[in-house]
Structure 1
């Protein structure tokens, strides 16, 4: 999306690539690379997209004619190099992190990808940003890409907040365009109109922020967002039940929600 807007504005086509900072995996753009794809594995790399829990290779992505991913729940996994760790020599005085990178003799990138039937690889976010909702694995970046289509949103961040019983729930922080206001009915209608938004993907909680928090390197400060959860000073809207209309998270509703977490021995942040 960013590359297309850049080309439209400046008339210059961006060419992207991928390389693990440690040197354990690389993807090169190849002739015929579809829009949105990074490319194919560099020569010498045996790259695969696998389910970290089962170590099995994920099924190929099913894409709509517009290139939208239709089976994110099964196609998205962690990118690994089954051929080894390349030039990666290890981490200084951090054997635990090094072992995690090299488990099973593979190099684990920590990045989420999916692969189409022709072998082209698509970036789907960081493994740390994965959510598990009702036993289904979701990639935050995939949901963000969908929410970013809403014409009132200037910035979007998706992240996990604990479910009162087990796993995660989806929360989104939205920074709106100048002059725009959050319309819960319009937002819900927008979600319903997205063909690639799976049933587990719509955010239960929506935080309306004047701006998204950033790190010192101008990346979205996801740790701060997760830490604040829905217990923040910004306005928060929520769905009391799946598919219900969005409504403000009032002090009364928040008290009842906190009690639900307490009953199950969990905390919301």
Structure 2
């Protein structure tokens, strides 16, 4: 789409980034580090201090969180109250003997307790790892196991349905704290625990390189990857929210991402709190009228959401939006999957504002490429690299990934050529490891570049345009779904001999999960069996289960025996099958 949406400069406050080229020349990460306070007495850098305590010291009565329950009741939490609550949780952890770098997991929705647990954990210099509450038991078990979970905070219902039966398989999981109900045997009531400890807590010295966060992301050929981030990541959280989301201290901010995913933590929890803004927290699920009501009633000024949600809102048209007063809204941004050009244009018509798409990954920890507030938008483009971020496109090999020859890569210099997005390490939120997988981590780098696995082209003006993933990870409604996990669950059924899973394009959620299964001898395809397998997926995997399932006794394989998902997808979509040299031959 050739259309360009021009910045009108109508924001009530001056943009934080007013000239892109000047900002790139003048920016450095040491300068950004100076935007933060650091622990008193030069004792290091701690995310929770930057997000909570430094604001509580200066503006304790400022509202940090406006939390809306499913019943629309609103709870206000000030920065001073958040400091007290997070101090108490840090003291609970100490009382339990949980200390430095011990892993504390949450299995919670968008509720105030999640913020308390996250910041209290970081104060204690323990490691926080959020989980998506809609996961089924199997993804939860695997992540708790991989992450060496010592503490889990969840609700009585989620514990009963998804965790209780797993305890015997998780010897490292010593403590389970329950939120919003009475404790059951083997658990601790969090409210009682908080009231049993003091409200004073001094954050210990914190090395900026100390492990702080673990975010899980799925791969195509193995189990989930636990990406490790350190306390220094907060420098990037703050700087990118300032430059890419244009946050000002006076803003009312709403990030709709679930805190179980990296966007919900980096930009739903950490970044807005570091800026001292008021953050909207909505426990409810997506509903067009509810969302418009929140934008109106809370006077949201900056809104960070997903393309799936925008597409669904656009399906309801301008008439529904016109019933609500959205005049407070000054900035809209989007992330999680490619944003269709037509959605950008339509949103401009509906909101009177453009949508600023951006790109980043779990591994990068923060926004890397973005459309900026003071920059013209080219609908369909994910923008230009952040100040302080060196991005490039690398020439690809036969497998679609960047070609690495004798440990060297080739940077593409010409415009409009597809290559793998690569980033030069040096920004603070770059992941430091994959838990228990040094080999996998090493493979993410080559010749001084981080290899993203995503493909893009760059136009003559430096705008990047997303093309697709070089691997098979499925992006559905902003969630990253690893085919291997879905296949593994389906193969637990006695009828299934083998499974292959792909993402099938969907106009609303980006992709839906479709499974292809071959059956064992003695079993025949039937609607009853199809329903049974889909139900198994929903029971075990929750929101990431397959939506469609087909029977196929001739799944394509590589010569090494791997199901060729690429070929399954090409055949499903009627696309060219590409190189078939590695396909298993007859006999």
TM-score by structure 1 length?
0.45
Richer in helix (by share): 2
Q: Highest CA radius of gyration, 1 or 2?
A: 2
